[in-house]
């Protein structure tokens, strides 16, 4: 059930390249949410019973199993995130409302997760809860500008230790010659070579709008059913 919750900012991590993670401690336990859901984050004051102020949506990057600490990760891209960059400080109180959204990974089919940059946060709660007995294969393609911005790589590796059905490939656009990374952006040619039957999987896409547009169009051209292409899109 969506609820408005006042939170205290307990930590801000500067990942570089104007990408940040913000940790929020709710004054009361956050409502239950599911992996893949998002919250609205407001910078301006809110008085309960009054109108909700301007806010922006962010995937809840933290696990639903710990509702005492919420994490969001954002890249500075517009006016609101510019304000976030300049105004957010540890100890500040902010309001969030959550949970919303239906970007949930179904265990009915193998899943192919295509995550670009901070879009990865749409999958982190799912991966944090992934257990050995998960009934399907999960193929993750996680791309970022540089290796340092593969912020959630440790979480992915932990999940791989627990669940052998999780397969992950990392892609970086620049800054590495390591064989641990495939150079470039997420490319469907790479995806198609990476697992045996890509047409039976369901595709979950989260990342910048341009990435979503290109990949969605490419998947449709490769005759993936529209019902098997799920995008985490916001304005």
Binding site for another protein (CB under 8 A): 1-4, 31-32, 34, 38, 40, 48-52, 57, 100-102, 104, 233-235
- CB of 111: closest distance to another protein in angstroms? 18
- CB of 191: closest distance to another protein in angstroms? 25
- For 208, other C-beta atoms within 10 Å of its C-beta total 15
- CB of 3: closest distance to another protein in angstroms? 5
**How many whole angstroms separate alpha carbon 16 and alpha carbon 34?**
29
Question: Of 55 and 137, which CB lies nearer to another protein in the complex structure?
Answer: 55
Element (H, E) at 23: strand 19-26
**How many whole angstroms separate alpha carbon 27 and alpha carbon 159?**
30
Question: Of 16 and 53, which CB lies nearer to another protein in the complex structure?
Answer: 53
Question: Of 188 and 219, which CB lies nearer to another protein in the complex structure?
Answer: 219
Helix ranges (DSSP H) in the chain: 79-87, 121-128, 153-162, 188-194, 209-221
Q: Angle between the 121-128 and 153-162 helix axes, to the nearest 10 degrees?
A: 30
Question: Of 51 and 179, which CB lies nearer to another protein in the complex structure?
Answer: 51
- CB of 119: closest distance to another protein in angstroms? 13
- CB of 175: closest distance to another protein in angstroms? 31
Q: Tell me the DSSP string of 62-105.
A: S-TT-TT-EEEEEE--SHHHHHHHHH--TT-EEEEEEEE-----
Question: Of 96 and 166, which CB lies nearer to another protein in the complex structure?
Answer: 96
Residues 82-116, buried b or exposed e (16+ Cβ, 10 A)?
eebbeebeeeeebbbbbbebebebeeeebbbbbbb
Asked if residues 96 and 42 have their Cβ atoms less than 8 Å apart, the reply is yes
- CB of 57: closest distance to another protein in angstroms? 4
Question: Of 177 and 235, which CB lies nearer to another protein in the complex structure?
Answer: 235
């Amino acid at each position: 059930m969506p609820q408005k919750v006042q939170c205290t900012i307990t930590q801000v991590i500067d990942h570089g390249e104007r990408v940040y993670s913000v940790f929020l401690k709710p004054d009361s336990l956050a409502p239950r949410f599911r992996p893949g859901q998002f919250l609205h984050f407001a910078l301006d004051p809110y008085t309960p019973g009054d109108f909700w102020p301007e806010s922006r949506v962010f995937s809840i990057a933290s696990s639903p199993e710990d509702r005492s600490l919420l994490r969001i990760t954002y890249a500075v891209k517009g006016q609101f995130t510019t304000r976030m960059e300049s105004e957010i400080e540890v100890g500040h109180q902010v309001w969030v409302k959550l949970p919303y959204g239906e970007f949930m990974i179904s265990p009915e089919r193998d899943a192919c997760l295509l995550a670009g940059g901070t879009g990865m946060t749409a999958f982190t709660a799912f991966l944090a809860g992934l257990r050995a007995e998960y009934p399907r294969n999960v193929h993750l393609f996680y791309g970022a500008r540089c290796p340092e911005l593969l912020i959630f790589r440790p979480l992915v590796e932990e999940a791989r230790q627990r669940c052998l059905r999780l397969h992950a490939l990392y892609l970086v656009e620049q800054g590495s010659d390591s064989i641990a990374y495939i150079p470039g952006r997420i490319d469907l040619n790479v995806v198609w070579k990476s697992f045996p039957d890509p047409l039976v999987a369901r595709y979950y896409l989260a990342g910048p709008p341009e990435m979503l547009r290109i990949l969605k169009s490419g998947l449709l051209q490769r005759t993936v059913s529209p019902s098997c292409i799920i995008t985490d899109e916001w304005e």
